[in-house]
Amino acid sequence: MHDRKPSTTTAGDAPKLALFCQECGHTSKLGGDWLLREDDGGYWIVCPDCETTVVSQPVFE
């Protein structure tokens, strides 16, 4: 059996993913206080302050 070690990675050094509302400047990391809206078409991340859609993630299937 081969016991190959993975090459050196930068695990633990991943950038923190932050989202930014272009309307009001609200900033929070993904999974923060953003509002999530879902329906059959996908999901949206909505600003809790001004309700602007920050990210839309339509689902195509």
Residues near Zn ion, by CB under 5 A: 21, 23-24, 26, 47, 49-50, 52
Between 52 and 59, name the residue whose CB sits nearer to Zn ion: 52
52 or 57: whose CB is closer to Zn ion?
Answer: 52
CB 17 → Zn ion: shortest distance, Å?
Answer: 18
Q: How far is the CB of 31 from Zn ion (least distance, A)?
A: 17
The minimum distance between CB 22 and Zn ion, in angstroms, equals 8
Q: Which of 35, 39, 40 is nearest to 55 (CA)?
A: 35
Q: Which two tokens stand for residue 6?
A: 């993975």
- d(CA 14, CA 52) in angstroms, rounded, equals 27
User: Rounded to the nearest 5°, which phi and psi values hold at 27?
Assistant: -130, 135
